[in-house]
Amino acid sequence: MFDQALPGAELERLSTLLVSMAASLKKPVTTLTEQQLTAPTVDRFTVITSAKFSACLQAIQTDQPAVFQTRLTFAPATIADFLHQLQQTSPDHKQVAQAIAQLSSKPNDGGLQSQFTLELLTLLSSQLLPATCQPAVEAAMEQQIKQERLLNQVTTQIRQSLDLPVILKTAVEQGRAFLQVDRLLLFQFFQSVNQDPAAETDWQFQGRITYQALASEQISSVLDISDGCWFDQSQSSRESYRQGKIVVVENIYHHYQHSPCLLDLLSQSQVQAKLVVPIIVQDQLWGLLIAHQCDRPRQWQPHEQKFLRRISEHLAIAIYQAQLYAQVQQQKQTLEQRVVERTQALQEALRSVQSANRVKSDFLATMSHELRTPLTCVIGMSATLLRWSLGPLSDKQRSYIKTIHDSGEHLLELINDILDLSQVEAGKTTLNVSEFSLAQVARQSIRVVRDKAQQAEVELKSQIQIPDAGDRFVADQRRLRQILLNLLTNAIKFTPAGGKVTLRVWREANTAIFQVEDTGIGIPTSQQPLLFRKFQQLDSSYKRSYEGMGLGLALTKQLVDLHQGWIGVESAEGKGSVFTVELPIQSLPLANPILEQSQLPMAAAGRIILIEAQEESANLICDILTAAGYQVIWMIDPATAVQQIQLLQPLAVISALDLPSMDGYEILRRLRQHPLTNEIKIIALTSSLLPEEQQELLAIGANSYLTRPIDPEHLLYKVSAVLAAAPS
């Protein structure tokens, strides 16, 4: 900030200097003055804005003629405030809006700021200082500007790079050139591995010269020298270095006349004067910056000491950044190794699960053959004896045969339920869709359970409210009959003698609704969530009073889900229950495209792999697809995703295009080029997509694309449409 009273002529020169500076800047640049518009708070002003340099000159007329109180600022916030004042006064002025848009929130570029500062000081000094002082002032300012530029260069490199050797080499070379010394060294310490740091009195620092810059070839090289006589090794000297003390030696023969070892070493290396600045990293002595003058003794100026001190401070920042980066890289390698190990464990677990599923399927197939065959004989022969005995049977014999027959049928029902439920869970059950009569299926189900209802002394009624025009329906007829039989049988079993069971059937648009109502024992509200679980009955008293393994309702729920339908219950203890099933009409002639893919030993809908780095987006997609019945595997690292996809063979892959470590387009190309994945459906995920980019995606091999933010219905529609489409 520059703030002082200036004559009008000097103010005009200063404004001209700003305009000249604007002309030298890289476009776009905006220049505003009081000649273009009026400011409410000042009499004269000049504002320039650009990406790398901005300034604001404001002047107010004082009581003295032709004298202005002048303020010059480079602060982005102050410039922005003044521009907004101008905008309020002239809201339609386009250049004010341009200036606000071009104003950067960062400080001015160091080189440009130094250039303008030098020109400003030259302008002011030519008016305010005697002519004899101007060369000295200009030289001092030139030296200051040069120093600031070098510091800015080193600082910029530290911020933009994590390559520590490059930073250290540049700092040593540029520092030597600025100080005009014969040799600038960087001596790096390291602790001897054979010494115990806990023993402070025996703790000796060792190190070597790792970087050097020489003024000419006549100056001898001392690179990699590690002689301990390069500096005082006393404990007090080491502690002084740790505290940041600068060692200034103008003449080694005077300074080290009582240290012959060090004096001899320095003489052999052509050193006559030296300047030593420590490099402190996190309160630890990391190294030394050592400047050597070899041709003569030298009086080290304060600004030279200050410059080398600032260089060491910036190097300390760079060294600490490099140490942190090395730690992060080590942690990253450790994490990657753990991910590899975890992936291998998951693959082994997946293979174990698949093997267990195959073993279970083989066991169920064997049980189906080995148990159903003898049960068929038991049931068939006992039924034959009851109907056509070879001789007279006593009442007790007939009772025994009847018990054998009924028990065999009950056991066969349990085996069939277990097999059906296992096949549905394994994804091996598909819908055999056909067109049929709803009323006919309902009446057939009533006829099947009528005898059982009569034996239980339960009244069985039906209310089929379907007009002839709406009687035709598309679904799996056998599975629908199984759903109705399970519900009716369950209602009869839990309805006491003298009770009533009613089947109601009606249709609403493309949905068929079935309702089974009974006047049985009812279900407590707290136990209703247990109804559709496998091998689950409500409580121990029910288990003792009623037969069954608790599979009927669980299988019914699975069959309803296969139709993408809904089942619910309303019940009150001691008053009965009402089970309601809603089944949507299915498509002909093709079956549900999702179910056709359900051959994997996973959830019925199948497996989808998601490659996404944005956690919020990934969590939303996983939740939506999981709720829809898919098994979603979320992968973050695209480098290993292609190999995992080849192993897992999913139904589809949803891959983001804006991944941090690999281009999403490259993943698409790899999947389409490999024979194991070239037929997998792929949906690209991106934040925005131009029409030409859409064509490129489809040309590479994407089946479709999604844009963020994710809309649940749109996501499910896209996935269903892609899975339903025929292979390209």
Q: How many CB atoms lie within 10 A of CB 342?
A: 10
pLDDT (0 to 100) of residue 405: 73
Q: Is 362 helix (H, G, I), strand (E, B) or coil?
A: helix
Closest CA to 677 of 653, 704, 713, 659: 653
- Across the range 647-664, mean pLDDT stands at 85
How many residues can be counted in the chain? Answer: 728
| Distance from C-alpha of 37 to C-alpha of 71, rounded to nearest angstrom | 19
Helices 134-160, 302-387: inter-axial angle, 10-degree rounding = 20
The β-bridge partners of 500 are: 459
Chain segment 126-157, per-residue pLDDT in tens: 654 444 444 545 565 666 677 677 677 666 76
74: alpha, beta or left? (left if phi > 0; alpha if psi -120 to 50):
alpha
39-43, 328-332, 540-544: which has the minimum mean pLDDT? 540-544
How many Cβ atoms are within 10 Å of 491's Cβ, its own excluded?
27
CA distances (Å), origin 571, targets 417, 521, 674: 25, 9, 56
512 within 8 A of 483, measured Cβ to Cβ: no
- Assess whether pLDDT exceeds 80 at residue 503: yes
Taking a C-beta distance cutoff of 8 angstroms, is the pair 484, 441 a contact?
yes
- Strand order of the β-sheet with 500-508 is 459-465, 500-508, 511-518, 576-584, 566-572
Closest CA to 421 of 523, 286, 318, 559: 559
Q: Which helix (H) or strand (E) holds 464?
A: strand 459-465
The confidence score (pLDDT) of residue 415 equals 74
Q: Which residues contact 390 (CB under 8 A, 6 or more apart)?
A: none
Q: What is the pLDDT of residues 368-426, one digit of tens each?
A: 656 665 666 576 667 667 665 667 778 888 788 777 877 776 677 667 767 666 666 65
Q: 473-482, pLDDT tens digit by residue?
A: 999 888 898 8
pTM confidence score? 0.36
d(CA 234, CA 247): 14
Name the residue among 538, 543, 545, 540 with its Cα closest to residue 571: 538
Is-contact 275 231, C-beta < 8 A? no
pLDDT of residue 641: 84
- Look at residue 62 and give its three-state secondary structure: coil
Please tell me if the domain spanning 161-300 has the same topology as the one spanning 427-584.
no
What is the average per-residue pLDDT within 212-237?
Answer: 75
581 forms beta bridges with 514, 567
Tokens of residue 355, six digits:
């093997």
> The tokens of 650 are what?
């999913």
Structure tokens at 396: 């007790």
Distance CA(351)–CA(364), nearest Å, equals 20
Rounded CA separation 30/27 (Å): 9
Strand partners, 611: 635, 655
Would the pLDDT of 345 be above 60? Answer: yes
3-state secondary structure at position 636:
coil
Lowest-confidence segment of 45-59, 239-253, 309-323, 427-441 by average pLDDT: 427-441
Q: Which residues of 503-517 are buried (b: 16+ CB within 10 A; e: fewer)?
A: bbbbbeeeebbbbbb
Distance CA 518, CA 571 (A): 10
Residue 532: what pLDDT?
72
- The predicted structure's pLDDT at residue 590: 37
User: What pLDDT is recorded for position 592?
Assistant: 34
Task: Quote the CA–CA distance of 481 and 165 in Å, as a whole number.
Answer: 78
pLDDT of 460 higher than 90: yes
Among 319, 342, 416, 323, smallest CA distance to 375 is for 416
As a whole number, mean pLDDT of residues 357-366 equals 67
Cα separation of 104 and 53, whole Å?
A: 8
Q: Which amino acid is at 267?
A: S
CA separation for the pair 459, 105 (Å, rounded) = 84
DSSP 300: -
| pLDDT of 198 above 50 | no
For 311-327, letters b (16+ CB in 10 Å) and e give bbebbbebbebbeeeee
pLDDT at 413: 67
Lowest mean pLDDT among 382-391, 438-447, 680-689: 382-391
Task: Say what the pLDDT of residue 504 is.
Answer: 95
What pLDDT, on the 0 to 100 scale, is given for residue 653? Answer: 92
Cα distance between residue 539 and residue 33, in whole Å: 89
3-state secondary structure of 642: helix
Kindly indicate the confidence band of residue 200, based on its pLDDT and cuts at 50, 70 and 90. Answer: very low
CATH of domain 427-584: 3.30.565.10
Alpha helices by DSSP H, listed for 494-567, are: 540-545, 552-562
What is d(CA 651, CA 523) in angstroms, rounded to the nearest whole number?
Answer: 40
Give yes or no for residue 685 having a pLDDT over 90. no
Amino acid at 165: P
Write down the pLDDT at residue 544: 39
CATH H-level superfamily of 161-300: GAF domain (3.30.450.40)
DSSP label at residue 28: P
Question: pLDDT: is 218 or 193 the higher one?
Answer: 218
Residue 307 burial by Cβ neighbours in a 10 Å radius (0-12, 13-18, 19+): buried
- From the centroid of its chain, how far is CA 621? 13
pLDDT at 519: 92
Distance (Å, whole) CA 559 – CA 555:
6
Weakest-pLDDT range from 125-139, 316-330, 348-362, 658-672: 125-139
Judged by DSSP in three states, 336 sits in helix
User: How confident is the model at residue 232, as a pLDDT?
Assistant: 61
Name the one residue in this structure whose structure tokens are 């979603």. Answer: 632
Three-class secondary structure of residue 466 per DSSP: coil
- Closest Cα partner for 505 from 574, 583, 557, 415? 583
Q: What is the mean pLDDT of residues 661-665?
A: 80
Cα–Cα distance, 550 to 414 (Å, whole number):
10
Q: How does residue 689 score in pLDDT terms, banded at 50, 70 and 90?
A: low
Check residues 365 and 349 and name the one with the higher pLDDT. 349
Neighbouring C-beta atoms of residue 107, cutoff 10 Å = 13
Q: Which two tokens stand for residue 685?
A: 């995920």
Q: Are 122 and 114 in contact (CB under 8 A)?
A: no
> What region, left, alpha or beta, does residue 65 occupy, with left being phi > 0 and alpha being psi -120 to 50 degrees?
beta
Mean pLDDT lowest among 7-11, 233-237, 615-619, 682-686 = 233-237
Residue 610 has pLDDT above 80, yes or no: yes
Q: Which fold has domain 605-724?
A: Rossmann fold (3.40.50)
Cis geometry, peptide bond prior to residue 593 (ω within 30 degrees of 0): no
Q: Per-residue b/e over 445-458, b at no fewer than 16 CB within 10 Å?
A: bbeebeeebeebeb
| Lowest-confidence pick of 132-141, 257-266, 620-629 | 132-141
Domain ranges for the chain: 2-148, 161-300, 427-584, 605-724
Give the amino acid at 111.
G
Q: In the structure, what pLDDT confidence band is assigned to residue 525 with cuts at 50, 70 and 90?
A: confident
Chain segment 575-596, per-residue pLDDT in tens: 899 999 999 998 874 333 333 3
Spatial separation of the C-alpha atoms in residues 30 and 86, rounded to whole Å: 14
- CA distances (Å), origin 462, targets 445, 456, 509, 513: 10, 17, 21, 14
d(CA 631, CA 387): 52
Rounded to an integer, what distance in angstroms lies between the CA atom of residue 654 and that of residue 610? Answer: 5
| Percent of the chain scoring above 70 in pLDDT | 78
